[in-house]
Amino acid sequence: MINVGIVGATGYAGAELVRLLSAHPQAKVSAISSVSFQGQKISQVYPAYFKQNDMECETQGQVVEKSDVIFAALPHGLSQELAEECVSKGKAFIDLGADFRLESEDEYEQWYGGKFLDKQLHKQAVYGLPELFRENIKKGQKIIANPGCYTTCSPLAIAPAVKYGLVETKGIICDCKSGVTGAGRKPTQGNHYPELNEGFHAYKVASHRHTPEIEQTLSKLSGEKVVVTFVPHLLPVNRGILATCYADIKEGVSFEQIRQVYEEFYKDEYFVRLLPDGMNADIHNVKYSNFCDISLHHDKRANKLISCGAIDNMVKGAAGQAIQNMNIIFGLDEKTGLDIVPPAF
């Protein structure tokens, strides 16, 4: 049995970890922490967990001592020292924040305003998008940089076409929509109900912090520097990411070839469901699950590939993928604790 600790358990991603791990047959939550709710039970913060999980929020140090693996669901800038402590004590560390996602310190400073506190520590980190970098995760690294929601959905939607040179890498557009849980639990003007309800708007246009992370993944796959146009939008729903990615199909490449490549690329990926022609990826159909649904479309007039990806931003885009990474580094079947059928309605 794997002893799991969750730092930042009362945020949305942390609370989702608590929910999902309650059904994991080979892991148990041994300790949780929260700065805002220390000393309180998580069921006081989230009444849905009453009599299901009444654990008390302890200190961060207690979580580290009691656990084999620590999930950190913290804002950026707060994970580096914790990661160093965990690694020094032989603990696995899975960071749901942004501190270890970018390989370039210059980019981290530009987009997050921070520095790498220990450059050697960052070299030990592995980017945890299993469908694209599974072999790196399997190498036994102790620090996993768990991707975010946009940075999971967008690359999965376009990865096969980019990796095998079927589309032009210049001019790729990632047009994405997110449920409001992606903004976190702390209320803001933007996610206040009267502001959000019956509205729909883009935000952080051409300036969102996930931009360099998407580019980093696609650049690794293509072998050349990829620059994308990324525009996120806020949906008036709780959960879900819909990423609609546009790319110019290269001369001499047919849409049928692209579909064949996608089918081969994802044929053994349980959590990626490549939909048949005529179906559309829909956030409704992946809710509460770790699936990523992808639908492929051909704009024949403009000869563009339009690939739509849909995930639950709290599961495949956060807690579920983190557990998938835990399963890999502990040698478990990736589906363990995550084999969840989405609700039909």
Closest by CA to 78, choosing from 47, 50, 99, 49, is 99
What integer pLDDT is reported at residue 191 of this predicted model?
Answer: 85
pTM of the model: 0.96
- Rounded Cα–Cα distance for residues 190 and 202 (Å): 11
What integer pLDDT is reported at residue 26 of this predicted model?
Answer: 98
Establish whether 308 is a catalytic residue: no
Give CA 200 to chain center in angstroms.
23
Find the DSSP H helices in 201-286: 211-222, 255-265
Alpha-carbon torsion, ordered 8, 12, 18, 19, to 10 deg? 180
Which tokens is 55 given? 């654990």
What integer pLDDT is reported at residue 192 of this predicted model?
Answer: 87
CA-based end-to-end distance of the chain: 34
Per-residue pLDDT of the chain (345 residues; tens, 9 = 90+): 999 999 999 999 999 999 999 999 999 999 999 999 999 999 999 999 999 999 999 999 999 999 999 999 999 899 999 999 999 999 999 999 999 999 999 999 999 999 999 999 999 999 999 999 999 999 877 899 999 999 999 999 999 999 999 999 999 999 999 999 998 888 888 888 898 899 999 999 999 999 999 999 999 999 999 999 999 999 999 999 999 999 999 999 999 999 999 999 999 999 999 999 999 999 999 999 999 999 999 999 999 999 999 999 999 999 999 999 999 999 999 999 999 999 999
Neighbours of 170 (CB within 10 A): 11
Contacts with 218 (C-beta within 8 Å, 6 or more apart), sequence order: 155, 158, 159, 162, 169, 172, 226, 228
Q: Active-site residue among 57, 86, 149, 292?
A: 149
* Exposure string for 214-250, b = 16+ CB within 10 A, e = fewer: bbbbbbbbbeeebebebbbebbeeebbbbbbbbbbbe
Q: What domains does the chain contain, in order, with CATH numbers? A: 2-146+316-329 (3.40.50.720), 150-312 (3.30.360.10)
What integer pLDDT is reported at residue 32 of this predicted model?
Answer: 98
What integer pLDDT is reported at residue 184 of this predicted model?
Answer: 86
What integer pLDDT is reported at residue 311 of this predicted model?
Answer: 98
